[in-house]
Amino acid sequence: MSATATVAATAGSAADRPAGGGLVVALLLPIALVNLVGFLLPVFNLALISLQEVQASGAMTGGWSTAKWVSVVTDDFYWELLWNTIRTSLGITLATLLVSYPIALYLHRSSGLWRSVLLVMVISPLLLSAVVRTYGWIAILSDQGVVNSVLKAFGAAEPWRLMFNLTGVTIGLTEILMPYMILALVAGFGRLDPRAEEAAATLGASPFRVFRRIVLPLSVPGIALGSLLTFVLAVSSFITPKLLGGGRVFLLATEVYDQAIVTLDWPLAATLSMIVLVVFGIAIAVYGRLVRSIG
C-alpha cells in the first residue's frame, strides 16, 4: 500500500512508521557529510600516517613502515613520557576528586535559588576559555604572583617555584577539570535518597558514620564516571601544561603538539596521538570493569 507511507509520515509513534527513505536521507545528508569530511576521513588518515615511511629529510615516501612505532616503543624517552603523563593525570584526578567532592555534596544538599546560583557558578567556568583560566593561575602562581607576594610579606627570602614545573600544571589542571567532576558527582548523587540518610540517623549512626556507610558507597558510580572523565581530559590537555609548564614539562599531549607544529614530524605526532587513544581505551576498559564489579 503506497499510501501507507504518507499516513505514516503524518504522525504516530516511531514503531508505526516505515519512514520515507528519501526524506530521511535528505535530512541526514548534511550532517553525514560534515562527519565524513571533518571526522571519519581525517581520523582514518591519521591512523594510516603513523604507518608511513619517512625519509631522513622528513618527507614521506608513500611506502609503508612500522619504523615510527618501533622507534617510539624502543625509546626510553617515550616510555618515561608515557609514565609521566599517566602518573601526573592520576594525581590530577585524585586532587580534582578531593576538591570537587565537598562542592558536589553541598550542591546535593542545598536547594532552590541558592542551588541554581551555585550550579551556574560551577558550569560557567566551562564556558570560559582554558587560556583565560590558565592565565589566572599564572597570576596566582608566578614568582610575582599572589602566593609569593603573601610569602614575601611574611618574610620569605626566596620565591616558591610553583610554575614551570609539574606542581603548577597539576594545580591548574585540577581547577580546570573540576566542573566535569562536580557535574558527574552531582548526577551520581541524584540516586541518593535523603530518606536513606535519615533512616541511618534514626538507627543511631553519627553524621560521620552516615557519610562513610551510606553517602560514600552510594556515590561510587559518580566518582568512577567523574574520575574517568577527568583522567581522560588530563591526558589529552596541552594548553595548560604548555603555558604553566613553560616548555619545561613534557607530557604526551604537549609532545604531540610540538612534533606536529614545531618539528613537523607528522608520522611521529600521529604515532604518539595513537598512544593517547590507547591510554583512553585502557582507561575506559578499567572504568567498565569497575562499574560491572559494583554491579
Note whether 277 binds another protein by CB under 8 A.
yes
Question: 606536529: which residue's cell?
Answer: 260
Note whether 278 binds another protein by CB under 8 A.
no
* Candidate segments 66-74, 76-84, 85-93, 176-184, binder of another protein by CB under 8 A: 176-184
Q: Which x/- pattern over 89-108 shows residues binding another protein (rule: CB under 8 A)?
A: ----------xx-xx-xx-x
**β-bridge partners, 281:** none
- Interface residues for another protein in 7-36 (CB under 8 A)? 7-17, 19-21, 23-24, 26-28, 30-32, 34-35
- Interface residues for another protein in 44-63 (CB under 8 A)? 45-46, 49
Note whether 270 binds another protein by CB under 8 A.
yes
Among 138, 151, 290, 291, binds another protein (CB under 8 A): 138
Note whether 256 binds another protein by CB under 8 A.
yes
Whole-number Å distance between alpha carbons of 196 and 144 = 50
Among 85, 173, 273, 283, binds another protein (CB under 8 A): 273
Question: With respect to another protein, which residue has the nearer C-beta, 67 or 152?
Answer: 152
Note whether 41 binds another protein by CB under 8 A.
yes
Note whether 281 binds another protein by CB under 8 A.
no
Whole-number Å distance between alpha carbons of 236 and 89 = 9
Note whether 282 binds another protein by CB under 8 A.
no
For residue 172, give the H/E element and its range: helix 166-189
Q: Which has the closest alpha carbon to 226: 192, 190, 193, 178?
A: 178
Question: 591526558: which residue's cell?
Answer: 235
Among 59, 127, 203, 262, binds another protein (CB under 8 A): 127
Q: Which has the closest alpha carbon to 115: 226, 212, 189, 197?
A: 189
Whole-number Å distance between alpha carbons of 250 and 230 = 19
Whole-number Å distance between alpha carbons of 276 and 253 = 8
